[in-house]
């Protein structure tokens, strides 16, 4: 995983993206078709909002976003813009952990953003590059800069460049945006492997809203690192609930608002 984090990070990012510009993402069909367990197809050229169900689910929403980004990238690079506040609150990316998700160093370009304004610029710059298949922007907390206007700019950049954008947020309530879909994500029970080894990353993903309408629905999913796909949990006994999932679950209405 390439890492950009000097003070002139935007210049470094533009230089890196320019070097990638000669490579064009394949126009072939999606290499990871939806599975029966999770039929969602991540459409190119749109924005998807991902919200951590609770602040404790920040790691889960970022992991879910990385998995979705890998699926949507169609062989292209995934650019991960990480708000530094997210790193302070939820922990910085851990190499061995990313490897366990099936991520190779060549898959992801990580760019740290000191503030939300920089994070938004990273997203727009990355989405203009043909080699970039997907962008994950991870932001912590409520921020005026993450406005409806800003989301429209991001959605337009995604539409223009053809990449898929995932905006992962923790410590924030769902807000109006130009996103195609809006999700609430939280950690779910993990099924231990043989010998009591830790199980696959597990998620509860609730579709809160889809542009054009649709029913709210929740999936419980595991991430299969070898297939690089979300799959149905293995039906074994002895499931272990991760710490993030031990917090009380919050209810959401059809607009993505918390319900007491």
For residue 245, give the DSSP letter.
Answer: G
Report the pLDDT value the prediction gives residue 260, as an integer from 0 to 100. 39
DSSP state of 30: P
User: What distance in Å separates the CA atoms of residue 100 and residue 161, rounded to the nearest whole number?
Assistant: 30
Q: How far is CA 138 from the centre of its chain?
A: 8
- Quick one: average pLDDT of 219-223? 93
Average pLDDT over residues 112-117: 94
Mean pLDDT of 50-58: 97
Q: Kindly tell me the burial class for residue 138, based on how many C-beta atoms sit within 10 Å of its own C-beta (0-12, 13-18, 19 or more).
A: buried
Using DSSP, state whether 153 is helix, strand or coil: helix
Binned at pLDDT 50, 70 and 90, residue 69 comes out as very high
Give DSSP secondary structure letters for 120-146. Answer: HHHHHHHHT-TTEEEEEEEEES--TTS
pLDDT one-digit tens code per residue, 74-83: 878 899 999 9
With cut-offs at 50, 70 and 90, classify the pLDDT of residue 142: very high
At residue 223, the pLDDT reads 92
- Predicted pLDDT at 23: 55
Is it the case that residue 242 has pLDDT exceeding 50? no
**pLDDT surpassing 60 at residue 27:** no
The percent of residues above 90 in pLDDT, for the chain, comes to 48
What pLDDT does 18 receive?
Answer: 73
Q: What is the mean pLDDT of residues 236-259?
A: 46
Whether the pLDDT of residue 73 is over 80: the answer is yes
């Amino acid at each position: 995983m390439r890492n950009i984090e000097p003070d002139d990070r935007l210049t470094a990012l533009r230089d890196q993206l320019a070097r990638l510009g000669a490579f064009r993402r394949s126009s072939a069909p999606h290499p990871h078709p939806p599975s029966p367990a999770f039929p969602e197809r991540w459409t190119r050229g749109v924005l998807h909002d991902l919200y951590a169900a609770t602040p404790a689910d920040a790691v889960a929403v970022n992991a879910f976003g990385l998995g979705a980004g890998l699926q949507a990238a169609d062989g292209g690079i995934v650019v991960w813009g990480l708000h530094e506040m997210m790193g302070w609150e939820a922990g910085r990316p851990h190499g061995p952990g990313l490897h366990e998700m099936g991520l190779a160093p060549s898959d992801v370009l990580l760019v740290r953003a000191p503030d939300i304004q920089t994070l938004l610029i990273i997203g727009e710059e990355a989405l203009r590059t043909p080699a970039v298949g997907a962008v994950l922007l991870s932001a912590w907390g409520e921020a005026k800069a993450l406005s409806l206007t800003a989301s429209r700019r991001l959605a337009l950049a995604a539409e223009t460049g053809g990449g898929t954008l995932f905006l992962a947020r923790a410590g924030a309530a769902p807000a109006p945006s130009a996103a195609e879909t809006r999700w609430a994500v939280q950690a779910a029970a993990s099924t231990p492997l043989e010998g009591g080894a830790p199980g696959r990353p597990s998620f509860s993903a609730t579709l809160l809203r889809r542009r054009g309408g649709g029913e709210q629905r929740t999936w419980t999913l595991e991430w299969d690192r070898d297939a690089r796909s979300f799959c149905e949990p293995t039906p074994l006994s002895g499931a272990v609930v991760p710490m993030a999932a031990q917090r009380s679950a919050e209810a959401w209405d059809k607009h993505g608002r918390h319900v007491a």
